[in-house]
Amino acid sequence: MLDYASLRAVAAVVQTGSFEKAARALNVTPSAVSQRVKQLEERLGLVLIARGSPCVATEKGAWLCRHMEHVGLLEADLLTHLPGLAPPADGAPAVTVPVATSADSLGTWFLDAVAEVAASTGHLFSIAVDDEEHTAEWLRRGQVVAAVTSLEAPVPGCRRLFLGRLRYHAVASPAFLARHCPDGVTAKALSRAPALTFNQKDRLQERWLRQVFGETPACPTHWLPSTQGFLEASLRGMGWGMNPAPLVAEHLRQGRLVELVPGQPLDVALYWQINRLSADRLSGLTAAVTAAARHRLLA
């Protein structure tokens, strides 16, 4: 039989980052948490938690944590039908649902869905943020149960739904264009004008340059890993960048930002991929995600 008290202790330490916080979450003493983790590690002959600030799971510890996430979903589903099984004092423990999405989706539409589900179910969410071309890797590694991704091919063991297209505009302030592109926006001019890049995984600028000019000149760039920071830097004339249409629509209407090449947006297709083992128990999350996507994304 699995020792679920010890498994919950491991999961709580990893989730909170410390033995003390895990003890408060489990309503036991830190020494009890430490003893449970130590006994399980000795029984398995494995280190499950790398002690530090914060404490993190080892590879084997992460497998146990993912098992506990699935157990939490199963228990929540069971207690929906049999509420009498819930502990009389504290009720059912909150379920933490690990998901992955891009910063742009999180900043434009995804949070609508998560907030709705959190309010209706009491679930907690652990949201990993990565480039939309890389969020599927979190699913492949089993670190999340669902992800918003630009990967069309289904991840093994997952269900896939098309969500819609997030539109991006290549924009800059009027002053920026007057300073860096006085004779018009060309590939040569942009090769000298500073761009805005989210991080080393960000390929949106390259895709837009190839779409418009058929080439990808090397551009000097500011590195700015923030969706809101991207918008603010564009407004302040720091550089040109690919900004989500929902965030720049009003700025374009007011003339605070302008498109580098009018009528040349870049559309990124997004998909919802969810682990088949969790799909039925998280059907409400899938419904909320697809509804939010229909409202905010292009078909």
Domains of the chain, each with CATH number or no CATH? 166-266 (3.40.190.10)
Across the range 250-274, mean pLDDT stands at: 98
CA-based Rg of the chain, rounded to a whole angstrom? 23
SS3 of residue 129 by DSSP: strand
- List helix spans (H) across 82-143: 103-105, 111-121, 135-140
Residue 159 has a CB neighbour count (10 Å cut-off) of: 16
Q: Are 204 and 159 in contact (CB under 8 A)?
A: no
Q: How many whole angstroms separate alpha carbon 153 and alpha carbon 160?
A: 8
Q: Which amino acid is at 95?
A: V
Q: What is the pLDDT of residues 237-255, one digit of tens each?
A: 999 999 999 999 999 999 9
Q: What is the pTM of this model?
A: 0.82
Total count of residues recorded for the chain: 299
Q: Taking all residues of the chain, what is their mean pLDDT, rounded to a whole number?
A: 92
Q: What is the pLDDT of residues 54-69, one digit of tens each?
A: 998 888 888 888 888 7
Q: Are 69 and 94 in contact (CB under 8 A)?
A: no
Q: Which residue has the higher pLDDT, 164 or 142?
A: 164
